[in-house]
């Protein structure tokens, strides 16, 4: 029988996409990250957490210390995760409204983001969604989230050769390797924060 000490810890990751469009490039990054954990990143399991059912933040919906059912489910998934992978598209130099809404719901007392590791990836035009990452990092300061600093992952989705197929799946080998490096850094930092 294998001893408990020889078992590798599993890092449970909640993956959150700021785009609600199923074929979005940022959804493609999350799908690729999930595939990578099954192929070449041991000891890590990623669960995609859908933020589309969340109502817009309104504290009138908090009744007798309880949140709406969709919010309660979301908060539990965040609470039970070891760390987070954000796929953050850039809208108007910032994060998307659905992503900010999800962040704010999970920060309501008690803040379920606190003292956990996180990484951000993004795909888009120009700077590849990079400006949204800076805004998300600023929110993370108040949330007590600990973002990995390196490697960074911004991907210009419109450069040639194509980075994604017609269904939004990541097909660029170099980008997949960069994404794998992000996952390995997130795993290492999470275990470090947990004292392992």
Q: Where are the domains of the chain?
A: 10-193
pLDDT band at 22 (very low <50, low <70, confident <90, very high): confident
pLDDT on residue 3? 46
Residue 95 has pLDDT above 80, yes or no: yes
State pLDDT tens for residues 1-19.
444 444 667 999 999 999 9
Domain at 10-193: CATH architecture: 3-Layer(aba) Sandwich (3.40)
DSSP lists the bridge partners of residue 7 as none
Buried-state track 152-165, b at ≥16 Cβ within 10 A, e below 16: ebbbebeeeeebbe
Contact 45, 61 (CB under 8 A): no
Lowest mean pLDDT, pick from 14-18, 62-66, 136-140, 146-150: 62-66
Nearest-CA neighbor of 183 among 153, 157, 141? 153
pLDDT at 33: 98
């Amino acid at each position: 029988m294998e001893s408990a000490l020889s078992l590798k810890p599993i890092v449970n990751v909640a993956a959150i996409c700021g785009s609600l469009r199923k074929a979005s490039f940022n959804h493609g990054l999350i799908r690729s990250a999930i595939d990578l954990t099954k192929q070449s990143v041991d000891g890590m399991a990623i669960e995609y957490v859908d933020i589309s059912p969340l109502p817009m933040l309104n504290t009138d919906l908090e009744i007798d210390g309880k949140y709406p059912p969709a919010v309660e489910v979301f908060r539990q998934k965040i609470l039970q995760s070891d760390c987070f992978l954000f796929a953050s598209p850039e809208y108007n130099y910032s994060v998307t409204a659905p992503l900010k809404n999800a962040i704010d719901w999970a920060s309501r007392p008690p803040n379920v983001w606190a003292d956990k590791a996180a990484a951000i990836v993004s795909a888009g035009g120009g700077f590849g969604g990079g400006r949204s990452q800076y805004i998300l990092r600023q929110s993370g300061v108040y949330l007590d989230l600990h973002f990995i600093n390196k490697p960074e992952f911004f991907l210009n989705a419109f450069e040639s050769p194509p980075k994604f197929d017609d269904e939004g799946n990541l097909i660029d080998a170099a980008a997949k390797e960069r994404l794998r490096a992000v996952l390995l850094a997130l795993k290492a930092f999470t275990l470090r924060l947990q004292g392992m």
